[in-house]
Structure 1
């Protein structure tokens, strides 16, 4: 595709997002950083792509050298997802390889920091926990009425350990969220330029693998043993596996209600309204579990007849 003004606009957006990484806005803008490079790679040939991103990298590096490292870090998943769009890969595959690439980069970065830069993740988490709970401790210490609720050193250590155990869960969820945000925005934008990009199946067709039921049973058993165990590895598996499966079952439950709404000819907004309490009231994931374990959708269809 020849250079067009839209490509220049996305290059400017890319530059602004890179520059935002050294500002407090980075906590939000980091989730959109893959988007411009993905659109540029998917809609341009490789030479044109370089002509757009290299000037952006140079300007960002002049502002702050660390911006170049961050640009290279985030351009890798952008190229992976952009290549998937060019090859017209199924949407779910694009999401998975995008999220997998981001997660792999996180793990590699953590490994490099630990081995070569003497980065201690545990100490870093301790410092973050102490910093975030400092206002609560100060309030409790200065107010005799709530002094009994003040955070003790033991409380802080328990919170720090729990946070440390949830690091894998946080990395997986953040990687997937970045891929989902990128796909949700990139697909219609790329489509508008004349390229066909496969989209996700309708929500009514969402079906998780039935094997998740067995993984869930295994996770529950591990969780039971972990409660009375001092094995940190076992505790970490229980702290991460079961919550991830809970999210899968919530997605399955949302898909079930969209399917029910489609077969019963409901107004499109009704399944959306039902999806909100599923997200806010986690026990409703039991519907997703039942939908996987039993032919719930077929039963509902037959009952209509």
Structure 2
């Protein structure tokens, strides 16, 4: 008799859990659809809401697992296609794939950097599919379309200078060369977009999940981040090939133009970890390295110095040689 009661209680708990999961999934799906509609019909909101679209998927997968998350994903894909059409469907695919990946990894209590890697790969995969679909189905190359818009802006600038009686400056010619090179940078643009999107959405998800009293592995301090030392050799080889030069349009040319910016970014980030570590061991206020990191987004010489520091750190383990002040 007692066994029967225990079995009935277990069944009731299971039903309640499933009911609660369905209710929460319906609510979070509704939240996603509302944000999607606002981003579609109120264009200026897309710059804000795009960072929060994956949050319903992250929260649901973190609480209920990947299997239930796929059901929510299927429902939102269907609703997005019906309500948002061609515009809504890509947003749902991107947010759902990355959000479910991040949510499941968070549920498994994985390290924050591993969660970032997993969600970034998911975002990059969907971006590649969307890019290929745009070319094959819509016959539109997004990168070429972006180049056309930039060329039109350049032509307008040249026309304005001509109307003012001035000759086009060398800066405009350099800008035109940069526009032409963008056509080779499709892969690196997709990778950067996926990683940055994954990072910002994960930071937002951490705040939400902590408010929901869920355990989330935080990001380690930037001073503790380290890239593999082998990356230094890849960077040196790539730099040599890049500066020697390759024939434009060849496969090696495309690879170098995409690989070199990624490795330069990795070296600069490694250099900033040295700055943060130095300030930490020397008890310098953390505002200083934060300002330096932000200034690196606008001042090329700061990035150059950070890159040099990163190379030294990977080559000679500079951070291990820094000792804290003794008091």
TM-score by length of 1: 0.83
Aligned partner of 1:186 in structure 2 is 205
More moved, 23-32 vs 81-90: 23-32
1:103, distance to aligned residue in structure 2 (A): 0.9
Q: Are 1:26 and 2:41 matched, yes or no?
A: no
* d(CA) in 1 for partners of 2:294, 2:144: 37
Q: Are 2:127 and 1:127 aligned?
A: no
Cα RMSD (Å) of the superposition? 3.4
Corresponding position of 1:265:
283
Comparing 190-199 with 126-135, greater Cα deviation is found at 126-135
Paired with 1:84 and 1:126, the residues of 2 have a C-alpha distance of 37
Question: 1:128 Cα shift?
Answer: 2.4
Mark the CA change 1:118 to 1:214 in structure 2 (over 3 Å): closer, same or farther: same
Residue matched to 1:166: 185
CA contact (8 A) 2:151 2:176 kept: no
**1:97-129 Cα deviation digits (max 9, x unpaired):** 111111111222223333444344564244222
C-alpha deviation, 1:304, in angstroms: 6.4
- Structure 2 residue aligned with 1:109, among 130, 154, 162? 130
Contact 1:125 1:160 in 2 (8 A): no
- Computing the radius of gyration from Cα coordinates, the structure with the larger value is 2
Distance 2:34 2:181 in 1: 36
Separation in 1, partners of 2:25, 2:287:
36
Distance in 2 separating the partners of 1:304 and 1:290: 25
Deviation at 1:197, TM superposition (A): 1.6
Equivalent residue for 1:82? 103
- Which stretch of structure 1 is more off in the superposition, 272-281 or 69-78? 272-281
Partner of 1:237: 255
Q: d(CA) in 1 for partners of 2:126 and 2:72? A: 24
Q: Does 1:138 pair with 2:159?
A: yes
Residues paired across the two proteins, number: 302
Mean Cα deviation higher: 236-245 or 53-62: 53-62
Write the distance in 2 (CA, Å) between the matches of 1:255 and 1:88: 25
Cα 1:290–1:175 change in 2 (3 A) is same
What 5-or-longer segments of structure 2 have no aligned partner? 1-16
The residue correspondences of 1:199-278 to structure 2 (distance < 5 A) are 199-226=218-245, 229-278=247-296
Q: 2 CA distance for matches of 1:302 and 1:74?
A: 43
List alignment gaps of at least 5 residues for structure 1: none
Relative contact order (C-alpha < 8 Å, sep 6+): which is higher? 1
- Give 1:299 deviation, angstroms: 2.2
CA displacement, residues 171-198 of structure 1 (integer Å, 9 cap, x when unaligned):
1111001100111111232133232121
- 8 Å contact from structure 2 (residues 281, 325) kept in 1: no
CA deviation profile, 1:189-248 (whole Å, cap 9, x unmatched): 21332321212212221111111110111111121232x623443332232222212211
Contact 1:21 1:30 (C-alpha < 8 Å) held by counterparts: no
Question: 1 CA distance for matches of 2:243 and 2:33?
Answer: 49
Please say if residues 31 and 178 of structure 1, whose CA atoms lie closer than 8 Å, have aligned partners that are also in contact: yes
Q: Which residue does the alignment assign to 1:300?
A: 322
Which stretch has the larger CA shift, 80-89 or 126-135?
126-135
Cα 1:75–1:142 shift into 2, 3 Å: same
